[in-house]
Each structure stands twice: as C-alpha cells, then as structure tokens.
C-alpha cells in the first residue's frame, strides 16, 4: 500500500501528542517530519515536547525542526491553563536524545516538499504561523502541497473567550487568513467536530489495558480532561488527532464543503472562522469542513493504534 506522505506541524500539547502517536502507528501514512509551532506553550517547550514524544515512542528517526517563536503579527499567547506549565503536564516523558534539525521548520518543510516525488499533505495542529510563512516564502511549492488537513476554527461554536474563535486560529489569525486564501485544498477539523470526538471518562481504563502507549494516552487524557470533567463535558476531546484519523479513515467523519474566511477586524470576534454554511453568500468553497464523527469507531482506531506499539515487545521480553 502506498503511504500518504505527511508533514506534521504541531504545538504539543496533549492532543497534539495523541495525533503524533496515531500518525506514527499508521501503515497508511509516511511521516516525513515534525515541525513545531508556538501555541499551547512557547516554542522551546512545544519543541521539547515533540522530541519527548518521539523519544518515548522509540522514533529517533523522525526529523524534528523548530518553528518560529511568535505569531506573525500578534503577541505570543499560550494555553498553560489547558496544557500546564510545560505544555504537556501530567505524564513524565524521557529527555530528548535525537538532535533537532539544524534548519528552521519552514526551510525543513520546503526541502521535504521540493524533494518529494508526489504532493505532500500538511497536517497543522497548532497556530498556522509556519504554514503561512511557507506559503509566502515558497510560492512555487504551493502546487506540491496536496492538501492541508488542519485542526482549527469552528463554524458554529467557539471556546476561546473571544467570540466564536478557536485557539489555533485566534493565536495567529493573520497566518490563518494566508492559509485559507492560498488556494491549497483545505480540510478543516474545527471544534464543531473535535469537541465531540472524545475519549469517554470511563474509557481511559481500556487505554491503560492497551500497554505503555495506551497508558500514556490515558495519562494525557487525565490531565487535559480535568477542565472538561469539571464542566460536565461528555469526555476528553482529542481535537488534533481528528486530522490524522481523517487521513487514515475519512469514513469516520461527515464533511461539508463551504467557503471559510477569517475575521481579522472584529473587536470581539477576531480570529473567528466564518463559514458560508448554506452557501447563502455564494462564496466559492475553499474548505471541506468536519461536521460530525463516529466517536466509537474513532476510539477503536486510537485503541488499536496504541496496542500496535506493544506488538513485538512481548516477543522481546
Ligand atoms: C486546539 O487548541 C489547542 O489547545 C489544542 O492542542 C488544539 O490544537 C483546540 O482548540
Ligand atoms: Ca494543538
């Protein structure tokens, strides 16, 4: 089976970490590298977290390149309240051993895309700073970006405290605008679908039973789920992993094509993703937007992914 070549651009982050776990387990994907964004925590912290996850998974072969240390035009805005001081509070990860790439995230991505023999899929799960910079600096590579499957935005709901904006878009709205008007096909997994694509609070034990990677996912869900449990939410949203799950099995999601633009001027709504949901405005579609998911099958996919890491360990014992 031909694997889909992907570059992951992330800001780990508990759900980014789970997205990485899912991607690196899949036989359908070929992860060409991981680049880091400043979002859930500072760039130093998100980069160390990406390295820690790969080290935990025994994947020193995955190249990791550090991204820009701030959004394009707006101040750094982190999410310690959700992800803790380290950006990945809760489970203890090993210290990174494999060195970072010498080049920056954007140069690294450009080289990978340039040398690929087929279009590469970008999978951003943090603010879109690096992706927008790539588009601006390497316009000749745009045709070689197959699609951008991103976690960000929301069409009918928001939870950032700034109107209907979602964290990743709100942190760097100008970058998001560049991406959404780039002409590259976009798959948008926003809060409309990711808020409900959850690990149930009572499902964490199943993950623990799936081995050390499953236990890590349960521990990540423990920390990230605190706030959600407090407000009586239906489970722990695994926002970022929806992007990877879509690439592995698109039938898990109901999608709708529409035009999505970024609000860059609203006093209370800056960073909102404004979707022409019913086509009433007649704006040409630029995104395929996640509307709903088959949560049970998503959890099954994730559980199998966790268990797949254990295969072989038994023989080694
Ligand atoms: C997004 O914000 C971050 O905190 C998560 O990692 C996810 O990418 C959800 O709004
Ligand atoms: Ca993220």
Q: How many structural domains is the chain composed of?
A: 1
Could you tell me the distance, in angstroms and rounded to a whole number, from the CA of residue 214 to the centre of ligand 1? 21
pLDDT at 160: 54
CA–CA distance, 81 with 238 (Å, rounded to integer): 17
Residue 29 lies in a domain: yes
Please report, for the domain that includes residue 258, its CATH number. 3.90.245.10
Which domain does 264 fall in, by range? Answer: 4-308
Atom 4 in ligand 1: which residue has the minimum CA distance?
Answer: 40
Contact 118, 247 (CB under 8 A): no
Atom 10 in ligand 1: which residue has the minimum CA distance?
Answer: 167
Q: Residue 250 gets which letter from DSSP?
A: G
Ligand 1 pocket test: which of 38, 87, 129, 240 has the largest number of ligand atoms within 8 Å of its C-beta?
240
User: Would the CB of 239 count as within 6 Å of ligand 1?
Assistant: yes
User: Would the CB of 45 count as within 6 Å of ligand 1?
Assistant: no
Task: Kindly give, in sequence order, each residue whose CB lies less than 8 Å from that of residue 85, ignoring residues fewer than 6 positions away.
Answer: 41
Give the ligand 1 atom nearest the CA of 125.
Answer: 8
Give the ligand 1 atom nearest the CA of 194.
Answer: 9
Ligand 1 pocket test: which of 13, 21, 172 has the largest number of ligand atoms within 8 Å of its C-beta?
13
Could you tell me the distance, in angstroms and rounded to a whole number, from the CA of residue 40 to the centre of ligand 1? 7
Residue 294 lies in a domain: yes
Residue 298 lies in a domain: yes
Note if 239 is an active site residue: yes
pLDDT tens column, 181-199: 999 999 999 999 999 999 9
Give the ligand 1 atom nearest the CA of 82.
Answer: 4
Closest ligand, as measured to the CA of 83: 1
Give the chain's length: 317
Going by C-alpha positions, the residue among 123, 157, 127, 109 that lies closest to residue 243 is: 123
User: Would the CB of 40 count as within 6 Å of ligand 1?
Assistant: yes
Task: Kindly give, in sequence order, each residue whose CB lies less than 8 Å from that of residue 39, ignoring residues fewer than 6 positions away.
Answer: 11, 13, 46, 78, 79, 126, 127, 167, 168, 171
pLDDT tens column, 132-156: 999 999 999 999 999 999 999 999 7
CA–CA distance, 58 with 72 (Å, rounded to integer): 34
From 14, 83, 140, 239, active-site residue: 239
Q: Which residues of the chain have pLDDT under 50?
A: 314-317
- Compute the Cα dihedral for 277, 279, 283, 287 and give only its sign: positive
Residue 315 lies in a domain: no
pLDDT at 157: 58
pLDDT at 316: 43
Residue 316 lies in a domain: no
Cis peptide before 13 (omega within 30 of 0): yes
131-168 burial, b if ≥16 CB within 10 A, otherwise e? bbbbbeebeebeebbbbbbbbbbbbeebebebebbbbb
User: Would the CB of 168 count as within 6 Å of ligand 1?
Assistant: yes
Q: Cα dist. 124→70, 121, 154, 289 in Å?
A: 16, 10, 15, 15
User: Would the CB of 151 count as within 6 Å of ligand 1?
Assistant: yes
pLDDT tens column, 26-46: 999 999 999 999 999 999 999
pLDDT at 159: 53
Residue 317 lies in a domain: no
Residue 314 lies in a domain: no
pLDDT at 1: 82
CA–CA distance, 258 with 275 (Å, rounded to integer): 7
């Amino acid at each position: 089976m031909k694997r889909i070549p992907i570059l992951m651009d992330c800001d780990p982050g508990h759900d980014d970490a789970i997205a990485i776990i899912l991607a690196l387990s899949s036989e359908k994907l070929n992860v060409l590298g991981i680049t880091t964004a400043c979002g859930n925590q500072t760039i130093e912290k998100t980069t160390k977290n990406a390295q820690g996850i790969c080290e935990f998974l025994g994947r020193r072969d995955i190249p990791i390149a550090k991204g820009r240390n701030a959004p394009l035009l707006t101040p750094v805005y982190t999410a310690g309240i959700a992800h803790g001081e380290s950006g990945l509070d809760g489970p203890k990860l090993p210290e990174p051993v494999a060195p970072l790439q010498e080049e920056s995230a954007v140069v690294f991505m450009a080289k990978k895309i340039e040398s690929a023999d087929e279009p590469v899929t970008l999978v951003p799960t943090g603010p879109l700073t690096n992706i927008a910079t790539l588009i601006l600096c390497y316009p000749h590579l745009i045709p070689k970006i197959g699609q951008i499957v991103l976690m960000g935005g929301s069409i009918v709901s928001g939870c950032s405290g700034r109107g209907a904006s979602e964290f990743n878009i709100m942190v760097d709205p100008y970058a998001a605008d560049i991406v959404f008007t780039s002409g590259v096909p976009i798959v948008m997994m926003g809060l409309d679908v990711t808020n409900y694509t959850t690990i149930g609070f009572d499902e964490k034990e199943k993950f623990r039973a799936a081995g050390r990677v499953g236990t890590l996912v349960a521990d990540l869900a423990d920390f990230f789920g605190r706030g959600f449990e407090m407000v009586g939410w239906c489970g722990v949203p695994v926002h970022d992993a929806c992007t990877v799950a879509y690439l592995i099995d698109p039938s898990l999601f109901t999608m709708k094509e529409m035009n999505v633009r970024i609000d860059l001027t609203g006093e209370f709504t800056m960073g909102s993703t404004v979707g022409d949901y019913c086509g009433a405005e007649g704006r040409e579609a630029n995104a395929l937007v996640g509307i709903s998911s088959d949560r049970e099958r998503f959890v099954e996919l994730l559980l199998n992914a966790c268990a797949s890491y254990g295969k072989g360990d038994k023989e080694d014992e």
